[in-house]
Structure 1
Amino acid sequence: MRNKALSGVFAVSAVVWAGGVLAAGSGCGTVDLLRALRAGGGEGVPGETLRAGGFDREELSSGGRFRLHNATVRGSMEPPAQVTEVARTLEAAWRVLVARGGWPDPARSRPVDVVLLDGLEQGPSRIVLLEDPGARPEDGVAASMVVTGSPRDWPLAALHQFLHILQVSQSADEGLWAYESSALALEDRLLGGGLLPPALLERRQDRPELSLTSDREELSGGAAPFLVWLAATRGDDLFTLWWQRAATEWGDNSLSALDTALRLGDQISLAESWRAYTVWSSYPGMSRRPGAGVPGLSATLPVTRSARTVSELPSSGAGPDALLIEPMGYAVIRLRDLGDVGAVTVLLEAETGALPEADLLITWPHVEAGWLSTPFVFMDGRAELNVPLAAGSEAVLIIRDRRWRGEALAVSWQIDADPGYPFELSFLAADSSPGRIELTWGSQSERGLFGWLVYRATDARGPFRSLGSIPFPALGEVTGPLEYHYSDTDVEEGDLYYYLVEGITMDGLARRSLIVARQAVGEGSGAAVPSGKRD
Structure 2
Amino acid sequence: MTRRTSLACLIALAAAAPVAGVAAGHAPTPEELRTALAPRVQQLAAAGGDVTALAARDPELAALLDSRPETTGLVTLALADPPVTVTFPAPAPSGPLVDEDLDGMPDRVRAALDAAGATLARLEDAGLREPGADLELYLLPLGSVARGWIGLDGTPVAGRGARGFVVVNIVHPAGSDAVHAATARFVARLALAGLDADAPQWWLEPSVAWFELQAAGPSLEIASAIRSRWSQPELGLQTGLARIARGNVGLLLALEDPRLAQRVLRETWSALARRAEIDSRDDVVIEALRRSTGTDVAELQARAAIRALVDGLEPTRWAAEVAEVPAGGIQTTIHAGPWGGALLSLRPDPLGAAATRLSASSSGPGWTLSLIARRHDGRWERIYGRDPAGGIELLVPWRDYERAVVVMIRDGRGSAREIELLIDDAGADALFALASVSARHLPDGSVEIAWRTGWERELFGWLVERSDAPDRPFQAIDELPAPALGSETGGAFYRLRDPA
Query: What TM-score, normalized to structure 1?
Result: 0.46
Larger Cα Rg: Structure 1 or Structure 2? 1
Q: TM-score, normalised by structure 2?
A: 0.49
